[in-house]
Structure 1
């Protein structure tokens, strides 16, 4: 006799099945091309547990971006003198395999950020050390084609130790993909360009206002847009603050500047990454150095920020973190302590609670989360 399965079985089976289609990609400062550098884990979106799927050997993949079509683009040979490259991989969630496609020179030393446009025809890379932005065409198979543009910047700002020259630290498209912004830590500017995906070559062109000035000595680093497309936020590495802007048609109008640390903490800031929850209600910003925490802010209807609290990252030097597409989890990478922590996010309060089991990845530097 065939035993009839209970409705509860089908509910649990369905939950478990759909909990297994979210993947987490990690990059690292492995300092050696013969060691594993990019790692793929599966995220159980019920328990928050991470399970390793595969990994590949590559040198210093410091930053990754993942496309909806399953391509992974990495800044490679980062912090390698006189070198720098961008590399392409293809992830297959069915076979759970990660395949190397090709590699191209990044057009400068120390690539730190890479992004892809909505059409997946162009890949844009930011080089930190020699302050450049390179643009490559993407081939139909997802591999990286020839470099078509390479911008270089030279001017610095007021800090004699960190700002003797320009340092591009990220490359972020506007929500409509008609503009792209490059925070320049060395020059205290957010550089702006128009973007034309249909261009045969040279998709980036100067805007009417080629840059937005930021607080002198602040060192703008990472940049993000609110899900509603009306507001933008930039985190300062050296200033330890987030600047909020009203965004419209490629322009940024200053709205607010607020510190990412309590008033009792002074000097020596090392703020790094910034993200907004998918529901648009909370902004998260990471602080390295003596704090090693995530600052949590609520976002008002007018785009302004209000401090909610601080959560230790339970490690040292949280360079990059990410929020999963459902908004349930925040995953942070601690470079110096080589540990990854999964936090469950309270959708009502915005606060974070550690969940699952932390994992160890040597000098883990980046995390991206994608649902297939």
Structure 2
């Protein structure tokens, strides 16, 4: 891998995965990461699993259960890599008050998790969460309830009750899936001033001002960026340079590129492309899932369920516009999520309906993926996050 791209990757994602934000010359190259997998527990899974990734070879150790908990479909870690947070996707604050978002302490040596406490996500059916870049609050998107929430984080990593809960409103053109709002994710801007929530039910990306110290979300003006009716925006990823953002649209299998004005907190659409190969149209059973930019900033990746592939685009550094590069089969069914390790060398595709995680090598010059042949057994994997082994 190009050394400069590897260094940029470390700096770009360091806060997210527990790497100290040291100057490049002082940052020792990581040798291993703990990888935590969120899962669905309706069949074989029992909760959160952990493996170790060897950065030099891309080898994953066998996955081990580290926390027995129900439907921890999305997992996220704080900037220091000391705490992990997860949701119970089936939680309902009415039937199970005070349940739905869990906090764990991470053992730096072994990667073991110790349960700390649990709070309500502020609405039914949480599906996504993140920790803000200061580590002071956890943001949650509630799919079933169509709302977002912000929970404060105490010094010891424990969660406090939600300080902000905002209900989305509206609908869109697909009568089967868009009769009501469905907040599908929440992300923060690179400067931690704004939060963005793609809502599948209303075809909008809602924008909020974020005060992390108070766990406060406030509607912003402009209040949203729209995508084409019936698109179903699902997840959002910022470019490492902070000038562009990309939204993957679940229902139409498209990717929308936006320019981003950091001073105004404003997204403006640049283009929308298919996530499927040229000549392939959307059909029953096809949908998208995850989007992520390479830490070097030159490429963008998105996952297709049903087609069971990862699409690769090149990113124009000056304009943020995308150009199609390739598709890579994920060696399994239903890649609900994938994760790129912080060095930018490896991509892990979580094949939910095959109970496997496939490992691919990443070419930093071409953006293309190469299957390593490694398939890790993980029951119903649906998310992954990294913490540096210290």
TM above 0.5, yes or no, is yes
Confirm whether residue 221 of structure 1 aligns to residue 238 of structure 2: no
The structure 2 residue matched to 1:207, chosen from 190, 198, 220, is 220
Return structure 1 stretches of 4+ with deviation > 6 angstroms. none
Q: Which residue is equivalent to 2:181? A: 166
**What is the rounded CA distance, in whole Å, between the counterparts of 1:18 and 1:48 in structure 2?**
15
SS in 1 for 2:218: strand
Q: Which residue is equivalent to 2:13? A: none
The answer to whether the 8 Å contact 1:185/1:221 transfers is yes
The answer to whether the 8 Å contact 1:47/1:355 transfers is no
The verdict on how the C-alpha distance between 1:145 and 1:79 changes in structure 2, with shifts beyond 3 A counting, is closer
**What is the rounded CA distance, in whole Å, between the counterparts of 2:111 and 2:232 in structure 1?**
39
Residue 116 of structure 1: CA displacement? 1.3
Confirm whether residue 42 of structure 1 aligns to residue 52 of structure 2: yes
Following superposition of structure 1 onto structure 2, how do residues 340-355 of structure 1 map, counting pairs within 5 Å?
340-355=357-372
Q: Which residue is equivalent to 2:273? A: 258
The answer to whether the 8 Å contact 1:332/1:367 transfers is no
SS in 2 for 1:336: helix
**What is the rounded CA distance, in whole Å, between the counterparts of 1:267 and 1:96 in structure 2?**
41
Aligned length: 352
Confirm whether residue 297 of structure 1 aligns to residue 297 of structure 2: no
Confirm whether residue 115 of structure 1 aligns to residue 115 of structure 2: no
Residue 357 of structure 1: CA displacement? 2.4
Deviations 1:178-228 (A, max 9, x none): 0110000000000001112243xx621111211111110000000011011
Q: Give the TM-score of the pair, scaled to structure 2.
A: 0.86
Q: Give the TM-score of the pair, scaled to structure 1.
A: 0.90
Q: Which residue is equivalent to 2:248? A: 235
Question: Unpaired runs of 5+ in structure 2?
Answer: 1-27
Confirm whether residue 58 of structure 1 aligns to residue 73 of structure 2: no
**Greater relative contact order (Cα < 8 A, sep 6+):** 2
Root-mean-square deviation over aligned CA pairs:
1.9
- Compare CA radii of gyration and give the structure with the larger one: 1
The verdict on how the C-alpha distance between 1:38 and 1:254 changes in structure 2, with shifts beyond 3 A counting, is same
Residue 119 of structure 1: CA displacement? 1.7
SS in 1 for 2:162: strand
Residue 78 of structure 1: CA displacement? 3.0
The structure 1 residue matched to 2:260, chosen from 247, 253, 264, is 247
**What is the rounded CA distance, in whole Å, between the counterparts of 1:318 and 1:64 in structure 2?**
16
Residue 35 of structure 1: CA displacement? 5.7
Confirm whether residue 319 of structure 1 aligns to residue 336 of structure 2: yes
The structure 2 residue matched to 1:25, chosen from 33, 36, 42, is 36
The farther-off stretch of 52-61 and 174-183 is 52-61
**What is the rounded CA distance, in whole Å, between the counterparts of 1:247 and 1:320 in structure 2?**
24
Structure showing the higher strand proportion among its residues: 1
Residue 21 of structure 1: CA displacement? 2.9
Confirm whether residue 93 of structure 1 aligns to residue 103 of structure 2: no
Confirm whether residue 71 of structure 1 aligns to residue 83 of structure 2: yes
The answer to whether the 8 Å contact 1:324/1:370 transfers is no
**What is the rounded CA distance, in whole Å, between the counterparts of 2:111 and 2:121 in structure 1?**
28
The structure 2 residue matched to 1:358, chosen from 369, 375, 388, is 375
SS in 1 for 2:173: coil
**What is the rounded CA distance, in whole Å, between the counterparts of 1:352 and 1:145 in structure 2?**
41
The structure 2 residue matched to 1:309, chosen from 291, 313, 326, is 326
Residue 19 of structure 1: CA displacement? 5.8
